Amino acid sequence: MRPILFIDRDGTIIHETDDEKIERIEKLTFLDDVLYYLRKIREETDYLFVMVTNQDGLGTPDFPDEEFWPVQNFIVKTLEGERIKFDAVHIDEHYESDNHPNRKPGIGMLSEYVKGDYDIVNSFVIGDRSSDVELANNIGCKAIHLDSIYSTKNEDAALTTKSWKEIYEFLCG
């Protein structure tokens, strides 16, 4: 049984924007050191990498597919170019007001992992929002909380940090 890193995208791998929408590559920047330390974690551990992201209104006029997919594909190709391959990517397009079970912190789109043959107890959700910490609780694993302007220190997280280096040291040290 392998453990999993459920990794959020916006605010965790790439910088969140003021409008909370990254619809153009020009708006995209990766977090400091994320590429270096994600690669080290990938190479030095047995974790499966699963990207989990809410993308409000994806596929609607508010956020058309033709805006989202070029950016998403660029992110994935950049990560793969750094030898960081995700085993799976789960994207929920619902608005928070929809109360859909697939939207984080709901576990609907992750039920295959909760019910599957995985080491959930030694798995982590890595994210920048309280909903990511809540997702970890809902899955039955631990949380690593990236402190950001959208959140404050979260006492329920196994680690709260602003640094991918600290995440690497926590997971690999």
Q: Note down the domain range covering 79.
A: 4-161
pLDDT at 123: 98
Catalytic residue among 8, 92, 128, 132: 8
Enter the tokens of residue 6: 């459920």
Enter the tokens of residue 22: 């990254």
pLDDT at 18: 85
Q: 167 lies in a domain?
A: no
Q: 20 lies in a domain?
A: yes
pLDDT along the chain (173 residues), means of 10: 97 91 93 97 98 96 95 98 98 96 97 95 96 96 86 79 96 92
Catalytic residue among 10, 92, 128, 132: 10
156 is annotated as an active-site residue:
no
CATH of the domain at 95: 3.40.50.1000
CA 93 – CA 120 distance, rounded (Å): 25
- The closest of 9, 2, 48, 61 to 30, measured between CA atoms, is 9
Enter the tokens of residue 124: 């982590």
170, burial (CB in 10 Å: exposed 0-12, middle 13-18, buried 19+):
middle
8 is annotated as an active-site residue:
yes
Amino acid present at 109: M
Q: 169 lies in a domain?
A: no
Q: 170 lies in a domain?
A: no
Q: How many domains does the chain have?
A: 1
Amino acid present at 79: L
Q: Is this model's pTM higher than 0.75 or not?
A: yes
pLDDT at 133: 95
